[in-house]
Structure 1
């Protein structure tokens, strides 16, 4: 149980990488841009992959009626996500310490993993909903008004994951270093639960019984 608890302490600490590294990266490449434009999405704001990328992306978006990329104070998520991550890191480390001291069982490790997974799915859903609004809610007075072959307005929503063709731009959206740090941390907490379960006495391997006795 002690080895499992140590993993449970270490795993949530990987989430601290989200404060220093981007969670997601979106790159836009086109023939007229030898160096692709890009934006790194952090839990507290959006930054350009290169110095002037945000200004250039906003300039291009102006012609097709897309809004400027939001500043941190313009989206509640950028103020809330750092707090949520901090709480989850603290909670995970506390669970690991209590497990090391023998105060709680390994089932709590799984509970933290499930809660973090739910929060992650909710975050991705919110991120995708923002991109839908960002790419479809266009200014009707835009300089350029482009339509699909069937006459419907063209959507400029970037892909949530993977590659898409938008006009003459190749758009690629992929997890960045912060997302991978979070993934590793969550895998460690899942490993902590598995080790705790394997090391538990045979009479205690029932999750229901183990939960009921805590």
Structure 2
């Protein structure tokens, strides 16, 4: 339980999510890493180049860390869950709390994760569909409606001549590993409790 909770600290060292944009004119794809405290380019000038491309189709510039409340709140949430998980792990080791608290931590973390993904998807939707009507380039769908440029939440999507992929990054995989370890802690506690009952 303690080790699983501490795995969440990887989110402070590694990106949570990665979005890559590849096109014939960009043999080296452009990319951005989404951290819990801000957005960074995969390479030095990627964010600048993405903003330059987005300007032509009327998309907003990629927000700075202080322009989104999430980048202030998410680190605090992760720190809180790490402290709570370690505290429960210590109490569990001392036989002061029931193993079911470990499952409670996992459920709470899962709910927070789903809410985070929902918020991320709302941001992507706004980012890709709330376009400047005075943009230099306007592309419409076959039915005449304005085309949106929302990157996929997860997976691959074709946007004009760009191949866009959106995938979990190292921070997310460490978080998934940590959450899995807390489920293991719950199962170990459940089996231990079951064997004691049977005795």
TM bucket (normalised to shorter chain) is over 0.9
Give the number of aligned pairs: 198
Query: Equivalents in 2 of 1:70, 1:164: separation in Å?
Result: 22
Q: Tell me, which stretches of 5 or more residues in structure 2 are unaligned?
A: none
Match of residue 37, structure 2, among 30, 35, 44: 44
Corresponding residue for 1:79?
72
Within 5 Å, give how 1:162-181 maps onto structure 2.
Answer: 162-181=155-174
Corresponding residue for 2:118?
125
1:66 aligns with 2:59: yes
Show CA shifts across 1:69-128 (max 9, x none): 000000000000000000000000000000001100100000000000000000000000
Shift of 1:203: 7.1
1:147 aligns with 2:147: no
1:28 aligns with 2:15: no
**Local SS of the residue matching 2:39:** strand
Query: Equivalents in 1 of 2:85, 2:168: separation in Å?
Result: 23
Match of residue 83, structure 2, among 83, 90, 96: 90
Query: Equivalents in 2 of 1:52, 1:9: separation in Å?
Result: 39
Q: Tell me, which stretches of 5 or more residues in structure 1 are unaligned?
A: 1-7, 206-214
Query: Equivalents in 1 of 2:197, 2:48: separation in Å?
Result: 59
Query: Equivalents in 2 of 1:184, 1:94: separation in Å?
Result: 19
**Local SS of the residue matching 1:102:** coil
List structure 1 runs of 4+ shifted beyond 3 angstroms: 201-205
Match of residue 53, structure 1, among 43, 46, 63: 46
Query: Equivalents in 2 of 1:204, 1:21: separation in Å?
Result: 43
Show CA shifts across 1:38-95 (max 9, x none): 0000000000000000000000000000000000000000000000000000000000
Shift of 1:139: 0.3
Q: What is the RMSD of the two structures over their aligned residues, measured on CA atoms?
A: 1.1
Shift of 1:202: 5.1
**Local SS of the residue matching 2:131:** coil
Query: Equivalents in 2 of 1:39, 1:147: separation in Å?
Result: 26
After the TM superposition, which of the residue ranges 87-96 and 192-201 deviates more from structure 2?
A: 192-201
